[in-house]
Amino acid sequence: MGDYIVEMSHISKSFPGVKALDDVSFRLEAGEVMALLGENGAGKSTLMKVLSGVYTKDEGEIKLFGRTVEDLNPKRAQELGVSIIHQELNLCRHLTVAENIFLGREKVGAGRALKEKEMNREAADILKRLNIEIDPETLVGNLAVSKQQMVEIAKALSTNAKVLIMDEPTSALTASEIDDLFKIIRMLKSQGCGIIYISHRLEELQHIVDKVTIMRDGKYITSMNFKDTTLSEIISNMVGREIKEKFPHVLCNVGKKIFEVRNLNAGHMVRNVNFELREGEIVGIAGLMGAGRTETTRAIFGVDPKESGEILVDGREVTIRRPMDAIRAGIMLAPEDRRKDGLCVKLSVRNNISLPNLDLICNRFGVIDRRKENALTDKAVKDLAIRLASADVNAGTLSGGNQQKVVVAKWLARNSRVVIFDEPTRGIDVAAKVEIYNLMNQLKQQGIGVLFVSSEMPEIMGISDRILVMCDGKITGEFAAKGATQDLILECATKFESKVKQQEAV
Amino acid sequence: MEKREKQNPWKRLMAIRGMGQVITVAIGLLLLCIVFSMLSSSFYSERNVGNLLRQIAPILIIGIGQAYVLITGNIDLSIGSVVGMSCMISATLMTNGVPTPAALLITLVVCLFVGVLNGVLVAKWKVPPFIATLGTMTVARGVAQIVNNNYNTNAIGDKAQWFRDLFYYGNFLGLYNTIWIALVLFLVFNFLLGKTRTGRHIYAVGSNKEAAKLSGVNTDATTIIVYVVSSLCACVVGLITCAIAGMGTMDSGNMYEMYAVAAAAIGGISTFGGEGLLVGTVVGASIWGVLQNGLQFVGAPVAIRNIVIGIIVIVSVLLDVIIRSNRPRKKLKTESAAVAGDKVH
C-alpha cells in the first residue's frame, strides 16, 4: 500500500459548551477504503467536516499528501483533492447532469458564454470512466435516487479528488445499486484514491472495507484491519458495551386475525395486494426500492387514494379515506422518511407527540388541556426512553435515533390495533436499532399487529415472524421466518413480469 | 412537573419558543419610544398616545390575519384589496338605503368568500399562494372599483353615525373603540392559535405539511381556515376605514398586505412557516405605528418615513437570521447532552 495521504493528528474541536472532538487521530493510505464508524453523535461528521474544511480545528495537525496544511477551507480542500459526498444529496434537480457536475466551475468561452458542448462531452467522459450509464443531458430530477448518487460521485471525481468521503452512501440504494456503487469504489481504489466510508450498515462493510476506525463520544477509540476483527468486536467498540442480541426475537403464540387487506389497488405501485396480520406476530415486507411497499402502507393509511380493496380490522370492514379515518380505526403509520413525513422539526418534541392525539387531550371546544398533554407526552418519552433535556426542545435538534423514537412515540400514546413501521431503522445507530426492535416485540406481546417494511435483509429475517415479498406493486412471495433465506427472498423480489413476453403476445 | 411550576416567571416566559425574539423586538420598541419622546415633548401627550394606539390598531388587525397565513407557510396578498372591497361595499350599500346591519353582514359574507376562495385555490387546487392571492388581490380591487361605478361613494350619512362611532370615534373605558376591537380580535385569535387544536394544526401544517397530514391533520381545512381568518381581519379593517372617512374610497387599503407582512415579520413570524408568536405581531405593528407617528412628529417627510420603515423591516428580520445561523452550535449541544445521557444509561 502507498503512503499516507491523510494524516490528522491530535485534532480537537470545541463548540460552546461541548468538546466535539477530543485528541482524535486519523490516517488514510492511498488505495485504501477506511470505514469510519461510531454511534450517532460520536464525532464522525465533525471530523470529516474538519478534513473537508467546513470547520476549522482548534488544535492538532492535518497533513495531506505528506504536507502540513493550515487554514483549510472547503474550496482549498477541494483543490487539494478532498471531496465529500453528503448523506443528503446536494444536487439541483432542475439542472442537467452535466450542469450539476460543472456547477460553480462552468467552462466559459468568448463573451462569457457557456461551453455547453464541451461540458457535456467531458461529463460523458467522466460518467463513462465510472461505467455509469447516464446521459449527461438528462435532468437530475428525472433520475432515480441511486443514479443521482452516482452523479454526486461523478461530480466529486470531476474535481480530481484523491480523498473521497462518503457519508452513508447506501442508505437510499437497493441491493443491486449497492453492488454498482461497490464496483465504483473498488475501481477508485485501484486508481489510488483513498476512500473514507461512513455507514451504519455494518453488514456491507465486508465487501469493500480494508480498515476500520472507530470513534465514540468525540474520541478516537481504535483502528483495525477489517479482516482481523469481527462485527461484534466492532459493535462493542462503538457502543462501549456488548450488545448481546443484534436481533432480539421473542416467540409469541399467534392468535386471531386482527387485520386484513383484500384486493387493494392504488396506482400502478399497488396491484391487488392481499395479506393478513395476526395477533402476536410481526410481519415484514421485503423488496427492492420501488417495489411498492411504501405506497402500500400509504394507501392503507389513507394518504393516497385507493382504487379498490377492503381493509378489515378485527373482522370489521373500515372505510379509510383520510389518515384520520385510519387513526380512528386503530391503524398507525410511522412513515419512512422521518424528516420529510414523520416530524415537524420546528415544533417541540411535546407538540410532535401530541399532534395525532389532539382529540384525546382537547375538550369539546377544541381547547388543549395542557396538563393532559404534558402527562401524555411525558409518559411517551419515558416509555420509549427518549433521551432529551426537555420535551420542549425542537424535534429537529435530536439525533436520528431519538427522532425515530419520537415518530414512534406519536403513535404509541394511543390505543392501537395495528402499527405499520416503514423503514424504522434507517440511518440510526446499532443501539437505537435494538431499542426499536425491542419496542416492536413489546407491541407484539401486547397483541398488537406489527407490519414492518425494511430494505435491510438481515433485519427483516431477524425480527419478522412472517415475511412478505413485494415486487412491482404485487406480493410475489410469503415465507415463515424460519424457512426464509436471502436467496429465496431476493428471487421473489425480482419477479418482474417479463415485458418481452407481453410484446411477443401483441 | 413540580419543578416546572417552581421556576421563576421570567424563565417560564423565555421557555416559550419564539419569546426571545419578541422580547428583543419589544426592547427595540421601547428604545424607539424613548428616542421619540426625547425628540418631541408632545409625543407622550395623552392625545397623541390615544391617536397612536388608534393608528396601530388596523395594522395589528391585518397583521394578525397575515400572521396566521404566514405560520402555515403561505402568504396572502389579497388583504389590501379586501380592505378596499369591504370599505366600498359597505359604504355603497349604506348610501343606497340598505339598513346598516344588513350592509355589514353582506360585506362580511363577500369578504369571507374571498378567504374561502384563496384557501381552496391554494389547498385544493395547489395554485402557488403567491399567484393565487395575487389574482384575488386584483379581482377584489376590481370589485371595489366596480360596486359604485368607479366612483368613491357619497357620505354614508347620519343614520350610520352609530356605525362610525362603533368602529372608530366612540370610546369605552377611556380607550377608543378601534383599540378595543383590535384587542378583542387579538385575544380571540391568540387563544385560538396558542391553546386550541386548530392552532396546533396551523403550526404543524407550516412546519411540515406532509407529517401533519400523516398525523391525521386535515391540512386543506387548516389552510382554508387561515385564509378565512385573514380575510375576516381585512374585512374589519375595511369597515374601520369606512367609519373613519364616513364614505367609501376605492383605493383604501392599498399596500396593506405588505404592511401586514411587515408587522408580522418584524414581530418574529417566520415567512417560511411553522414559527412565530402572535404577540410578536402586536410588537411589530406597534413599531410600525410608532415610526409613522413619531417620524411625523419630528417633521420627517413621507419619503424619509418610507425609507426608515423599509430599513427597519429588513434589519429586524436580518437580526433574526443572524441569530438563527448561530443555532447549529446549540443543536450540537443538545445532541451531545443526549449522548452524555447515553453514557449514564
Please classify residue A485 by burial: count the beta carbons closer than 10 Å to its beta carbon, then call 0-12 exposed, 13-18 middle and 19+ buried.
exposed
pLDDT at B5 over 50: no
Compute how many other C-beta atoms are within 10 angstroms of the C-beta atom of residue B1: 8
Answer whether B211 sits within 8 Å of A341, measured CB to CB.
yes
Residue B326: per-residue pLDDT: 61
Name the A residues in 202-231 with CB < 8 Å from any B CB: 217-218
- Chosen for mutation from A397, A405, A419, A438 (greatest number of chain B CBs closer than 10 Å) is A397
* Cα–Cα separations (whole angstroms), residue A452 to A264, A316, A441, B214: 18, 22, 12, 17
Answer whether A341 sits within 8 Å of B216, measured CB to CB.
no
CB A279 within 8 A of CB A162: no
Q: Domain extents for chain B?
A: 56-253
Residue A244: per-residue pLDDT: 56
CB A449 within 8 A of CB A362: no
| B306 CB within 8 Å of a chain A CB | no
**Cα(A54)–Cα(A46) distance, integer angstroms:** 9
| Amino acid residing at B222 | T
pLDDT at B216 over 70: yes
Computed over every residue of chain B, the mean pLDDT equals: 87
Specify the pTM. Answer: 0.78
Residue B334: per-residue pLDDT: 41
Nearest to B193 by CA among B183, B184, B201: B201
- The residue behind cell 485504501 is A32
Chain A nearest-CA residue for B5: A371
CB B59 within 8 A of CB B235: no
| A324 CB within 8 Å of a chain B CB | yes
- Ranges assigned E (strand) in A447-492: 449-453, 466-471, 474-480
Show the 3-state SS of A57-116: CCEEEEEECCEECCCCCHHHHHHHCEEEECCCCCCCCCCEHHHHHCCCCCCECHHHCECH
Per-10-residue mean pLDDT, chain A, length 506 = 81 79 90 86 84 87 88 84 81 87 81 84 87 86 82 83 86 76 87 87 83 88 88 78 69 87 90 91 86 91 90 91 90 85 88 90 88 90 82 81 86 86 83 86 89 86 90 88 80 66 42
| B324 CB within 8 Å of a chain A CB | no
Answer whether B342 sits within 8 Å of A327, measured CB to CB.
no
Angle at A47 between CA A42 and CA A53, to 5 degrees: 150
Name the A residues in 389-428 with CB < 8 Å from any B CB: 389, 392-394, 396-399, 402, 410
| A369 CB within 8 Å of a chain B CB | no
Residue B320: per-residue pLDDT: 74
- Chosen for mutation from A332, A346, A388 (greatest number of chain B CBs closer than 10 Å) is A346
CB A495 within 8 A of CB A329: no
Answer whether B335 sits within 8 Å of A398, measured CB to CB.
yes
Helix, coil or strand: residue B27: helix
**Cα(A211)–Cα(A28) distance, integer angstroms:** 9
Chain A nearest-CA residue for B15: A392
| B341 CB within 8 Å of a chain A CB | yes
What b/e readout covers B126-140, taking b as 16+ CB neighbours within 10 angstroms? ebebeebbbbbbeeb
| A323 CB within 8 Å of a chain B CB | yes
In the DSSP assignment, the letter for residue A267 is T
Residue A388: per-residue pLDDT: 79
Nearest to A152 by CA among A193, A199, A101, A188: A101
Residue A16: per-residue pLDDT: 66
In the DSSP assignment, the letter for residue A138 is S
CB B273 within 8 A of CB B73: yes
CB A409 within 8 A of CB A397: no
Name the strand (E) or helix (H) holding B97.
Answer: none
Answer whether B214 sits within 8 Å of A340, measured CB to CB.
no
User: Chain A to chain B, count of Cβ pairs less than 8 Å apart?
Assistant: 134
Answer whether A15 sits within 8 Å of B1, measured CB to CB.
no
Helix, coil or strand: residue A40: coil
The C-alpha cell that represents A37 in the structure block? 464508524
Closest CB to A41: pick one of B198, B213, B336.
B336
| A243 CB within 8 Å of a chain B CB | no
Per-residue pLDDT tens over the stretch B64-122: 999 999 999 999 999 999 999 999 999 999 999 899 999 999 999 999 999 999 999 99
**Cα(A372)–Cα(A355) distance, integer angstroms:** 13
CB A166 within 8 A of CB A33: no
Angle at A454 between CA A452 and CA A459, to 5 degrees: 95
Answer whether A344 sits within 8 Å of B212, measured CB to CB.
yes
Closest CB to A347: pick one of B203, B342, B345.
B203
**Which domains are assigned to chain A?**
4-239 (3.40.50.300), 254-330+416-506 (3.40.50.300), 342-414 (no CATH)
The C-alpha cell that represents B163 in the structure block? 356605525
